[in-house]
Each structure stands twice: as C-alpha cells, then as structure tokens.
Amino acid sequence: MSQTEIRTGFDTIDDLLESLGGISPKRVRLFPSPGTATEEDVVRIHDTEDRLCELIDGTLVEKTMGAKESAVALELMVLIGMFSKQSGNLGLLLGADGTMQLMRGLVRIPDGSFTRWDRLPARKYPAEPVPNLVPDLAIEVISPSNTTREMDRKLDDYIQVGVRLVWYVDPATRTIRVYTGNTDPIELTEADTLDGGDVLLGFRVPVKQLFELL
C-alpha cells in the first residue's frame, strides 16, 4: 500500500502511532476519532483553538515547533524571499503555518515552502484556507518531537505527489539533507553551501550562515 493512500481503522493506539511514525501520543487528536477527520477539521481547529494540525490517514496530528527551529526556518525563508524578489518575483512563499492539501485526505504543513508561479493559475495566491497545492520546494526543520520514521513518511509523501526539492534542516547537528526525487540525499555541513538547484536557480547560502544565530 502506498503511504499516501488513506488508511482508516486501527485495532490499537499502538497501531495508530506506529503508522504515524512512532510519534508521541500527545500530538494525536482524539476528536474527531482517528480515521474520521477531514480537511474541514483542520480549518476548524485552527480557527477555534489556534492550533496547527496535519491530516494523515484521517487523523489529526498537531504540529510542534520550538523557538530555535522557528528562527532557522524564518531565516531561510527570508533569504529565499529576498532572492525571489531580486529575481523578479519567482513564486509563492509560505511559512511555518502554510497549510496545504497535497492530495485528498493528506494535509501537510512544511516549515517553509516555495511554489513557482507556473503551478498557480493566473499567478494568484490561493484563496482557500487549505489550498490544493504541491510546492516545488518543501522545507522541514527537525524538532526534538520529530521521529526518524515520521520524517521518512513525510518525505515519501512529498516525493510521491511531485515535490521537486526537499530540505531537511537539523539544528541539532547543524546539517541539511537535500532530497531530489528518489535519489540518495546529499548531506551538507557548515563547510558547505546550500543551493536551490533547478527550483531556485542561482540561490546560494552558506550553511554556516543559517546556524550562526544558534
């Protein structure tokens, strides 16, 4: 079964948590019941509780992000935004609350994303609170609450729906893993330079610069 197919009905809570990548049960919403949640519930919880939730297999999973991870994500998105403007406004940038429906029943919230205008009709920002949108670049800043299996599944989701470039930024190790399609990742250290590949042609930033504020 493809990991992006919707799975509902688990025998135990352990089965559910296992399917979500071994995450903490504190992040799993029990109302609506796991397996029955929809995109509308994502919007409702955001509007009434000001909480961000991803939707996976009909289950709402709360997004957590610490101050350190938020600062790194913001620094990177500011640099991309400046580059985009200097290059003539290349596309849509969303931050850590940029909710998007990658496919029916699958809502993800990257810590940052960039979508070229050719993926958006008439070069307009989506009007929907959870737009049907597949970005060209998805950025995830690894938090202590993220498990390896959770991030592996998220990467699989991104690749399967057609995200061209994925950056996994790890403040703990001060490294960045770069994924393009199903090829092996490239791991960058503070001695290296991050570039935008074919998605952000010409964008370059020393990895060390992103972690200097830490």
pLDDT tens for each residue of 16-30: 999 999 999 999 999
Q: Is 180 within a domain?
A: yes
**High-pLDDT (> 70) share of the chain, %:** 96
Write out the two tokens for 169: 């930024």
| Average pLDDT value for the chain | 93
pLDDT at 182: 82
pLDDT at 9: 62
pTM score of the predicted model: 0.92
Q: Is 3 within a domain?
A: no
Residue 45 near residue 97, CB atoms below 8 Å:
no
pLDDT at 6: 43
Residue 167 near residue 160, CB atoms below 8 Å:
no
**High-pLDDT (> 90) share of the chain, %:** 85
Identify whether residues 94 and 149 lie together within a single domain.
yes
Tell how far CA 149 is from the center of its chain: 15
What contacts 178, CB < 8 A, 6 or more positions away? 165, 166, 167, 185, 186, 187, 188, 194, 197
In the chain the first and final C-alpha atoms are separated, in Å, by 41
Identify whether residues 89 and 192 lie together within a single domain.
yes
Whole-angstrom distance, CA of residue 210 vs CA of residue 214: 9
Q: What is the CATH number of the domain that holds 204?
A: 3.90.1570.10
